[in-house]
Amino acid sequence: METTLKKDINIALEEATAFCKDKGLEIVFAHQISKTQLQVISERTKKLPAMYHASVGMLQDRLKNGCYLLMKDGDIYGHIFAHRHVIEKHSVYERSSLWVHKHYRNHNLGLLLMDFLTKRFTKDFLISIAQEPTVHNNNELLGMKYITLKDLSPILIETLEKIGKLRDELKYKYYVNPYFESKIKQFNKILNKTNNI
């Protein structure tokens, strides 16, 4: 099963890369985006119901972690950011603000952007919280592991809850990268100990 999944993602990513080449699109890692472009992205996150609203300030903050942009002729046709949650000096990154221009959808570019970001954070705690089965499937393809709320320290849940989408296992599923999964028990222990839980 795993071999089939891996094979499928490799093909999907290869096709996405070939599509980009054909259309003159480029994936760029960036720490800076002009204020005007940030305003456009922020407006987009506000308008689209599937996206969580990110203000320009929030996006500027996320830019410190870097983001991946899908570029063509200086224009942005897609993006993905990483939202850093700080829990007792530990960082947990959440993939956020994924968007691909309508013109280029359904060519696995969303998956390609997710893949770039996931690979960048292999040595960090990375989490994905989402509703759609497509995203869950993508997470599995990307090597992320499904976890339940009981696997997470209440301290971590409280921090993540500030973005307003936790404690709802009917609606959302939680995926963490293998690094996070490997350290989760240790991390919970540290958090619970410092908080007398």
Binding site for ligand COA (CB under 6 A): 48, 50-51, 98-100, 105-111, 130, 132, 134-135, 138
Please give the structure tokens belonging to residue 175. Answer: 């995926």
Which residue is at the shortest CB distance from ligand COA? 110
State which H helix or E strand residue 114 sits in: helix 109-120
CB of 1 to ligand COA, least distance (A): 20
CB of 151 to ligand COA, least distance (A): 22
Residue closer to ligand COA by CB (options 98, 184) is 98
Residue closer to ligand COA by CB (options 38, 191) is 38
Residue closer to ligand COA by CB (options 36, 106) is 106
C-alpha distance across the termini of the chain, in Å: 39
Answer yes or no: are the C-beta atoms of 70 and 27 closer than 8 Å: yes
Residue closer to ligand COA by CB (options 31, 103) is 103
Residue closer to ligand COA by CB (options 13, 149) is 13
Q: Which residue has the tokens 């599995």?
A: 140
Among 112, 120, 124, 113, CA closest to 178: 124
Answer yes or no: are the C-beta atoms of 94 and 75 closer than 8 Å: no
User: b/e for 102-136, b at 16 or more Cβ within 10 A?
Assistant: eebeebbbbbbbbbbbbebbeebbbbbbbeeeebb
Answer yes or no: are the C-beta atoms of 13 and 52 closer than 8 Å: no
CB of 20 to ligand COA, least distance (A): 11
CB of 191 to ligand COA, least distance (A): 27
CB of 21 to ligand COA, least distance (A): 16
